[in-house]
Homo-oligomer: A and B are copies of this chain.
Amino acid sequence: MKILFLCGGVGKRMQPLREDKFFFKFLGKELLLHHTGHLKALGFKEEDFVFVGNPANIERLRGLCGGGVKYAVQKSPRGMADAVLTANEENLIRSPGEDLLIVNPNDILEPAAYEAILKKGGARGRGDANILGYKVDKYFPGGYLVVEEGEKIRGIVEKPGAGKEPSDLINIVLHLHRRADEFIEFLEAENERRGKGNDRDDVYERAMGRMMKAGFDFRVVEYDGFWTAIKFPWHILNAMAYFLSTTDKLHEKQVVNPATAKIPESVKVEEGAGKVVVEAGAKIFDNVVIKGPAYIGRDSVVGNNALIRGSQIGDRCVVGYSTEIKNSYIGDDCWFHTNYVGDSVIGNGCSFGSGAVTANLRFDEKNISVAVAGVQTDTGLDKLGCLMAENCKVGVNASIMPGVRIGANSVVGAGTVVTQDLEPNKFLFFRAEQTLRENRVLRENRLGGGKKEEGEKKEERLSLLF
């Protein structure tokens, strides 16, 4: 069997975060490697893996996944069908009698999802294709499977609207094609039909639809474990919460458990709500409190009196003195110092000056909305802090309002209140008109008796540039 990872897509809804979603690290490992890890645990070898990337990410893909796997590049990404056909043109996926498993690495699934599709979908006589069907209990704006006669799929209906769902099963892109040859032919035919330059993303789905109509046997593999798709930047927090909930399954060798690590006695580790993972090389200083679930990356330092709860801290971070990180995703190489960072996503290499704070709750306690690709989008969250890309710097005593997005390499000046999104490579500061005058009050104080000092009373207005 060939396993095809769809790594070529380019999303715009993740702004300000610029990394491909599957490159985000969870528990110290890129999301993509979590997928391959699950599959390796089920017996697959690197030679079974094919990654379809794009010109912008292929180098990083190669660096991450190594030389034992195969790669194809979508020169100008035009959706899933284009990805499969590109891999096919490179002769990477079609070999007689082999099945084809298509994986969307931006989805997060439990290992059980892989087990299910491979065990059930791979069983003898089990149809021509198998699709993972995620069981929902309320309406979700995705593609619903039309299921009849047991597990047979008759079609897929995109976003039918609440109350009009043909089933309670959503199409998840974990597809096992057992007739890969025919599937590719249908893709080619559908692609031809639409003409070159067609970048509609439904060629893949239409090709499957035609196969179903032509009598190919599609089956559903039901799945009711954890699933989330990372579509918007705040979904990183959902994904993090999932991975943090899995840490009790980590190998002891992978993590330094606080119970065995050399952590000062004054550090309080509370695991009532979830495990606390401290990676090798991390240092926890006196009087720190860590409330699980929490993850502290390699060689990171948690300074005195800090509080970390429900958060993932990347590698080589410094969470300095008297800082609270709550329910936040922190990348690698970040520095904090007397901050509050709550319900936030902070990219790699960011630093916060002392007293800088992320506000995470509106005064009116309404849901926080974000302008995604120009469209104001309700996040569904009443608590959301900052969404910050990599290499940003935040000045001392700065305040970042809920849901604000800050582009990569941008800087927020000291004492500045950030109420609007900030594009990449910007420097935002508030130009304070300041007043400078003689310090009369202290002088009077020393003269005593409220006696006023005569003389100079000049007052100067300054418009300061920082």
Contact A434 B431 (CB under 8 A): yes
Contact A397 B354 (CB under 8 A): no
Contact of A466 among B361, B417, B422, B464 (CB under 8 A): B417
**A431-B361 Cα distance, complex, nearest whole Å:** 20
- Cβ–Cβ < 8 Å partners of A419 in chain B: 464-466
**A307-B289 Cα distance, complex, nearest whole Å:** 16
- Cβ–Cβ < 8 Å partners of A417 in chain B: 397, 413-415, 430, 432, 464, 466
Contact B397 A355 (CB under 8 A): yes
Interface segment among A109-117, A231-239, A368-376, A441-449: the answer is A441-449
**A109-B399 Cα distance, complex, nearest whole Å:** 46
- Cβ–Cβ < 8 Å partners of A362 in chain B: 441
Contact A391 B340 (CB under 8 A): no
Contact B396 A425 (CB under 8 A): no
Judge whether A344 is part of the interface by a CB distance below 8 angstroms: no
**A461-B433 Cα distance, complex, nearest whole Å:** 14
Contact B425 A441 (CB under 8 A): no
Contact of A438 among B397, B416, B426 (CB under 8 A): B426
Contact B399 A425 (CB under 8 A): no
- Cβ–Cβ < 8 Å partners of A398 in chain B: 397
Closest-by-CB residue of B relative to A305 is B305
Judge whether A359 is part of the interface by a CB distance below 8 angstroms: yes
Judge whether A454 is part of the interface by a CB distance below 8 angstroms: no
Interface size for A (C-beta < 8 A) is: 74
- Cβ–Cβ < 8 Å partners of A442 in chain B: 363-364, 391, 393, 409, 411, 425
Judge whether A266 is part of the interface by a CB distance below 8 angstroms: yes
Contact A322 B337 (CB under 8 A): no
- Cβ–Cβ < 8 Å partners of A441 in chain B: 362-364, 411, 427
Q: A436-B427, A439-B410 are in contact. Are A395 and B363 (CB under 8 A)?
A: yes
Judge whether A357 is part of the interface by a CB distance below 8 angstroms: yes
Judge whether A366 is part of the interface by a CB distance below 8 angstroms: yes
Contact A286 B304 (CB under 8 A): no
Closest-by-CB residue of B relative to A463 is B433
Closest-by-CB residue of B relative to A286 is B268
- Cβ–Cβ < 8 Å partners of A305 in chain B: 287, 289, 305, 307, 322
**A441-B392 Cα distance, complex, nearest whole Å:** 12
Contact A396 B353 (CB under 8 A): no
Contact B434 A359 (CB under 8 A): no
Judge whether A338 is part of the interface by a CB distance below 8 angstroms: yes
**A381-B291 Cα distance, complex, nearest whole Å:** 38
Q: What string of 1s and 0s marks CB contacts (under 8 Å) between A306-329 and chain B?
A: 010000000000000110100000
- Cβ–Cβ < 8 Å partners of A425 in chain B: 438-439, 442-443
Known: A426-B437, A433-B433; 18 extra A-B contacts, CB below 8 A, are: A268-B287, A287-B289, A305-B307, A322-B324, A338-B357, A340-B396, A363-B395, A401-B414, A409-B439, A411-B439, A411-B442, A419-B466, A420-B462, A425-B438, A427-B440, A428-B435, A430-B432, A431-B434
**11 A-B pairs with C-beta separation under 8 A:** A264-B268, A266-B268, A287-B287, A305-B305, A321-B340, A337-B340, A353-B361, A359-B396, A419-B464, A419-B465, A426-B439
